[in-house]
A and B are shown apart, each in its own frame.
Chain A
Amino acid sequence: MKLCVPGERLCSTEDCIPGTGTYLRHGCIFASLAGYVLRKNEGEELPVISVVRETEAQLLPDVGAIVTCKVTSINPRFAKVHILYVGSTPLKDRFRGTIRREDVRATEKDKVETYKSFRPGDIVLAKVISLGDVQSNYLLTTAENELGVVVAHSEAGAQMVPISWNEMQCPRTHSKEFRKVARVQPEYLQA
């Protein structure tokens, strides 16, 4: 595989489509990272050319990305979270996010009680809807069936088992607690 450095001209736009680690200038594709040049045939007419490194650079949460976060505090109007993973890549640094009350569910948005949807310490799957402006952090939503709480601990301290879309049960005390539960895809469930 060929090595390349930032600023090196790889090819022209007629031969390939630019991928990650490259940029366009005057109709030519240049590398923007130091690494290996990878040419992949994606099935379209032209191959995609990208630059890969051994150690992946820091990934940022982007609009529409599914992120894994941990709830840090709740409030009648919103829940504050720390974003830990973007997709399946762990982040080196925590990013802060907010899940507003009206973004918890898709239906009956005004009847949502954050206390019955999340608790501090829960691990939540959410989607980024906005990078936020000057005042706010990343805005997230759990208003889909596959999004919501995946791991939660009961007041007794044991990890709870989901029993419906809004309830989880503690295996030790058998008490039920309210959460906005994520419907995990069957392929991710272990037998």
Chain B
Amino acid sequence: MAEDLVLDTAIRDWVLIPLSVVMVLIGILRYFVSKLMRSSNQVPDPKMVKEGQVIIRARNLRAAANYIPAKSFRARRVYFSNEENGLLYVPKGQAQNAQAQMFSDPNMAMDMMKKNLSMIIPQTLTFAWVNFFFSGFVAAKIPFPLTQRFRSMLQNGIDLSTVDVSYVSSRSWYFLNLFGLRGLFSLILGEENATDDTQRMMQMSGFGFDPTKSLGAEKDSLDIFQHEWALPKFEQRAEAVLKKLVVSVPTPVAETVKTEKVKTVEEASKEEKVAATPAPEVVTEEQKQVTKEEVAEEQVQVTEEEVVTEEQKQVTEEEVAPEVTEKQEEATEEEVAAPPAEKPAAPEAETKELAEEAVPEEAVAKDETKEPVEEKIEAEVPKEAAIEETKEEAPKFAEEEKPAAKE
């Protein structure tokens, strides 16, 4: 029997809206009261902090263990789960202690009590008020049908058993608001407001065990873990990536670079080259003679002198080429040479520094094309130790800034 009850609009004006408004106001009041009452002992316990950090580190170890070599993983595992002084090792006696200590510590207990009180009292009061004033009539209709089981919960003031369960009393409106206004509060009051009753209630149960239990859990999972070094796979993946990169842009035939590569690398690679660039192979033999001359020249001198002679040749050849574009190219090159994937501030500062160093050098000695070009080359051409030294100096420089700025 689904007869449609017509509900007085006065109900809406005088029950639903005021109830919501009152609950919002009480929530705000609670928030400010809790802020005032929050004691200033915000000093975190050193042990807790350390344990928290250890847990994070152990979790990271487990998550990414496949990226570090097996030896280091094993060393770290021993460090964590060693019997005597491993970080995660928790003797059984201590586990019990933590909880007992938690409750006997007067400060903690007071804090908990205060928080509880500020939750429970307004709730109780509001509930009683609703029951007293707003009971005995139908307040709202729920838009979807419900089973008979909900009758006792939602219709407690209404003593007619024939009324559809969708018609509820104001008590249910109260509960609805209680749980639903959380979202509104986080909008008004910003995050971290004290109205998350349900969350707090859930947290109560798992209180004192947390640190010691999770340490034990981490230790166990770390013991179980099997280390599989993922790096060899990476080599193959890198090959695949490079292959795609090389093949995708088919470069024209007559390139001394490619043909020189063909020459320098051994037999197996030649097959690769065949697959990648079929054309140049035909031309290699012709080119070989040309390059042989260059090779003969270069092999005589030391590589650095090579650089000079090469550059001299190039410079004499291309006097017309404007230096501005060179500068730009080098600047962009250096910028990209720094890790492009992530963009922390440091490498950008580093590359800007390097680029800036390169630019004024050029601006100064514009007439003499040789020297600044040489300097740039020596700054750029990554010979074995040069990369590490220059790039280490620069990031060290930039990193010194970082901890100072970390205030």
Asked whether A and B interact, the reply is no
Where the two chains meet, the residues of A that have a C-beta atom closer than 8 Å to any C-beta of B are none
